[in-house]
Structure 1
Amino acid sequence: MQSSSELFPVALISAEIRGELTEDVYLLKPNNSPDNSVELALTRIGLRDRTGDYGEPVVLLHGSFSNRRFWCSPLGIGAGAHLARQGFDVWILEMRGHGLSPRNRDYTRNRVSQYVRYDLPAAAAFVQEQNGLAPHWVGHSLGGIVLAAALGGGYLDEASAASAALFGSQISRIYWPLKVPPVEWAGRLLLKGFEQVSGSRLKRGPEDEPIGLVKESLRWHGLFGRFGDSEKDWWAGLADVRVPLLAAAGAGDTQDPAWACRKLFEQFGSAHKEYHSLGKADGFSQDYGHVDMLVSKGAQKEVWPLLAAWLMRAGKA
């Protein structure tokens, strides 16, 4: 089968029509990481009766235990579908082993540091090849953390990111027991017998997460931990980021509290940035939680339009 890209092998594995929307799924094989078995599913959402160009591209990143359906349901409902109807060229990246992205050979060792070093740059290159423009990026929860890490590490920059939007994303919440070395060591020892964490068993979502990602998080939150890898301090690098930034936190979010999301927002050096607390005190109809800030009837009326308006302004910045 002929590749859909001149960059690396890409196969169109699905092309569906969902009402007035189209849903095309591409499987990318970038061959840019030590694990050459990695393949990434990238879904493009567009208007069925589209005329002219595709509009400005937007790449959406799901959170932990999730997949592309967080952004666009099979019935064409979701923030991603809304953006497509507003004229954006919408792409949804599924992380290694999530959704239609098959589990790679070293799945259990997958980490954010690999996502940001290899996977996001590959997706950025393919979207730019197909559309011609640098994409906007939107991440929820872990997706936002991955996006922040990619920007702080310099793996995405102004040439590959027109703007960034973070929803319910933070890295500053302190887990005091993990600051005690014996507790962290015991946690790592306990995790040695596991290959993955089940989202369905924990009632957190439809997907599993590799144990490598959990161990990486333990290191971030340890006594001398930092948001970064052995080579780069992503947190420090955020001060040098210049892409326009939107950050939103749920006033009722107990998982990733607003104060911690605000701290991540403030670390960015972007001159053009906005922060929104999604709650009654700031004019919203409710105090949004971690998921319903983007998946709820309230979000459909209040948050999706806020995101679309931001992307339109960022595209002109």
Structure 2
Amino acid sequence: MQSSSNLFPVALISAERRGDLSEDVYRLKPGNSPDGTVELAVTRLGMADEPALRGVPVILLHGSFSNRRFWFSPKGLGLGAYLARAGFDVWIAEMRGHGLSQRNQHYRKNRVADYARYDLPAIAAFVRELSGQAPHWIGHSLGGITLAAALGGHYLEEADVASAAFFGTQVSRTYWPLKIPPVEWSGRFILNRFAQLSGSRLKRGPEDEPIGLALESMRWYGLFGRFGDADKDWWAGLAEVQVPVLAVSASNDHQDPDWACRKLFEQIGSTHKQYICLGRAHGFADDFGHVQMLVSKAAQIEVWPLVQRWLTDPQAPVQAQALATVGAD
């Protein structure tokens, strides 16, 4: 079978019609990481009756314990479907071992560092090859953290990113027990006995997460931890990022609270950035939660149009209370 890319092996593994939308699923084999068995599934959404009509590319990154269905349900609902109907060229990536992306050989060792260093650049290259344009990126929760790591580590070049939007994304919450070395060591000892964390057992979502992610986050939040890996300080690198940035928090998000999301936003060096908190105190009809900020009827009415406005012009204010500059308050 002929590859769908000149960069690395890519196969079209599914082409379905979902009502008025087309759903094409590609399997990428970048071969750019130490684990050569890594395969990534990327779904492209478009209008079924207008296959040649493709707008500006947008890449959506799901959070932990999730998959592509966070953005696009089998019934054709979700932000991904909304943006496709609005004329955008929508791409939904699934991380290693999630959804249609098979588990790689060293699945239990997968980390954000691997996603950011190897997987996101490969996805960016493939999307740019097919679309001929720099894509916009939208990440929710862990997807946003991965995007921040890729930007802070300079694994994604500016030519790969037209803009970056972070929803419910932070790395600044303090877990005080992890600041006590014996507690951290004990936690690592226990976690190392497992290969993954079960999303269904933990009631967090439909997917599992490799234990490598949990061990990595424990290092971030440890006594001398930092947001980065052994080679690069991603947190420091964020100060050098100059692409347009939108950061969105939710006033009723207890997992990734507003103050912590704001701290990540303030670290980013871009002069074209905006911050929005989804809550009644900020002019919205509801106090949104971690998932509801993107998946709910209220989000469909208030948040999705906001995202569309941002993608149309990332340098224009998308909401009256948005913070448009580094020093805005």
Q: The TM-score by the shorter chain falls in which range? A: over 0.9
Q: Matched residues in 2 for 1:314 and 1:290: separation?
A: 23
Q: What residue is the counterpart of 2:134 in the other structure?
A: 134
Matched residue SS, 1:63: coil
Q: What do residues 188-233 of structure 1 show as CA deviations (whole Å, max 9, x unaligned)?
A: 0011210000000000000000001100000000000000000000
Structure 2 partner of 1:312: 312
- Residue deviations 1:222-256 (CA, integer Å, cap 9, x gap): 00000000000000000000000000000100010
Post-superposition shift, 1:46? Answer: 0.6
Alignment-derived partner of residue 18 in structure 1: 18
Partner Cα distance (1:97, 1:315) in 2: 36
For residues 206-217 of structure 1, the aligned pairs below 5 Å read 206-217=206-217
Decide whether aligned partners of structure 1 residues 100 and 50 sit closer, same or farther in structure 2, where only a CA change above 3 A counts: same
Look up the match of 2:321: none
For residue 303 of structure 2, give the secondary structure of its aligned residue in structure 1: helix
Q: Which amino acid aligns with 2:216?
A: E
- Secondary structure of residue in 2 paired with 1:218: helix
Counterpart-to-counterpart distance in 2, 1:26 and 1:126: 10
CA contact (8 A) 2:250 2:289 kept: yes
Q: Deviations over 1:15-63 (max 9, x none)?
A: 0101110000000000000100000000000111226541000000000
Separation in structure 2 between the aligned mates of residue 316 and residue 191 of structure 1, nearest angstrom: 45
SS of equivalent to 2:113: helix
RMSD after superposition: 1.2
Give the secondary-structure state (helix, strand or coil) at the position aligned to 1:314. coil
Match of 1:86 in 2: 86
Indicate the SS of the match to 1:286: coil
- Give the Cα–Cα distance (whole angstroms) in 2 for the partners of residues 64 and 307 of structure 1: 21
Shift of 1:103: 0.2
Query: What CA distance in whole angstroms lies between the structure 2 residues aligned with 1:276 and 1:79?
Result: 18
CA distance in 2, matches of 1:227, 1:127: 27
Between the aligned partners of 2:192 and 2:41, the Cα distance in structure 1 is 29
Report the equivalent of 1:95: 95
Normalising by structure 2, report the TM-score: 0.95
1:260 aligned residue: 260
Residue 147 of structure 2 is matched in structure 1 by 147
**SS of match in other structure, 1:164:** strand
**Where in structure 2 are the equivalents of 1:88-237 lying within 5 Å?**
88-237=88-237
Matched, 1:57 2:57: yes
CA separation in 2, counterparts of 1:188 and 1:238? 28
For 1:67-101, what per-residue CA distance to the aligned partner results, in whole angstroms no more than 9, with x for missing partners?
00000001110011111111100000000000000
Could you tell me whether the CA contact under 8 Å between 1:162 and 1:315 is conserved in 2?
A: no
Contact 2:124 2:160 in 1 (8 A): yes
- 2:271 and 2:16 map into 1 onto residues whose CA distance is 40
**Partner residue of 1:251?**
251
How far does residue 297 in structure 1 lie from its aligned partner after superposition?
0.1
The percent of aligned pairs where both chains have the same amino acid is 70
**Which stretch of the first structure deviates more once superposed, 45-54 or 83-92?**
45-54
Runs (5+) with no aligned partner, structure 2: 318-329
Aligned residue identity for 2:142: L
On the 8 A contact 1:55/1:88 being kept in 2, the answer is: yes
Q: Assess if the C-alpha contact under 8 Å between 2:41 and 2:101 holds in 1.
A: yes
Letter in 1 for 2:272: H
Q: Distance in 1 between matches of 2:58 and 2:228?
A: 25
Q: Distance in 1 between matches of 2:36 and 2:131?
A: 26
- Cα contact 1:252–1:288 (8 A) shared by 2: yes
Query: Contact 2:310 / 2:316 at 8 angstroms: preserved in 1?
Result: no
**How far apart are the structure 2 equivalents of 1:236 and 1:61?**
23
